[in-house]
Amino acid sequence: MSRENQRYNGGSRQTAGCIPYRYKNGELELLLVACNNSSKGWVFPKGGWETHEMSKKEGAMRETYEEAGVRGNIGSELGTWSYKGNGSGDHVCTMFALLVTEELDSWPEDQRERAWMSVEDARVACKNWWMREALDQLIERL
């Protein structure tokens, strides 16, 4: 994957993502995607904020479409977290809430598994501590 069009700030890769959610039969569900590397686990969709994108929200929506195949109404910023990437240096990620309005049958990274989960199951399945903190922020705001 080429990162020449990615944004960096002080050496840290700038990333953005969403926690896609919906209500089904009155219950809150969250959409996670399988990791796309050698590490196993589930994550919320996120990726590099590209230089042509005007805002982090725009980058987050693109990444969510590419990785999870969903579109929707993007909400408020849940926060920004710093973390170490998988051997690729420091990252800073801003996460947003995304109320899903459309789930596609085909999308750019449709080789990835995706799964709707309850809040409890998502908290257990999600491999990143900082994404679990973002999930806590989402739950607090809903």
For residue 113, the domain's CATH number is: 3.90.79.10
DSSP string covering 15-67: EEEEEEEEEETTEEEEEEEE-SSSS--EE--EEEPBTT-SSHHHHHHHHHHHH
What pLDDT sits at residue 91? 85
Q: Is residue 29 part of a domain?
A: yes
Q: Which residue has the tokens 């960096």?
A: 8
Q: Would you state the structure tokens that stand for residue 16, as one six-digit string?
A: 């953005």
Q: Is residue 1 part of a domain?
A: no
Task: Return the DSSP state at 6.
Answer: B
Q: Is residue 118 part of a domain?
A: yes
State the average pLDDT over residues 108-135.
Answer: 94
Range of the domain at 37: 8-141
CB 122 within 8 A of CB 75: no
Task: Using the predicted structure, report yes or no on whether residue 97 has a pLDDT greater than 70.
Answer: yes
Q: Is residue 2 part of a domain?
A: no
Task: Using the predicted structure, report yes or no on whether residue 38 has a pLDDT greater than 60.
Answer: no
The closest alpha carbon to 85, from 35, 136, 32, belongs to: 35
Q: Is residue 120 part of a domain?
A: yes
Q: Which residue has the tokens 């903190």?
A: 133
pTM: 0.91
Q: Is residue 34 part of a domain?
A: yes
Task: Using the predicted structure, report yes or no on whether residue 88 has a pLDDT greater than 80.
Answer: no
Q: Is residue 121 part of a domain?
A: yes
Count the domains in the chain.
1
What pLDDT sits at residue 87? 63
Q: Is residue 71 part of a domain?
A: yes
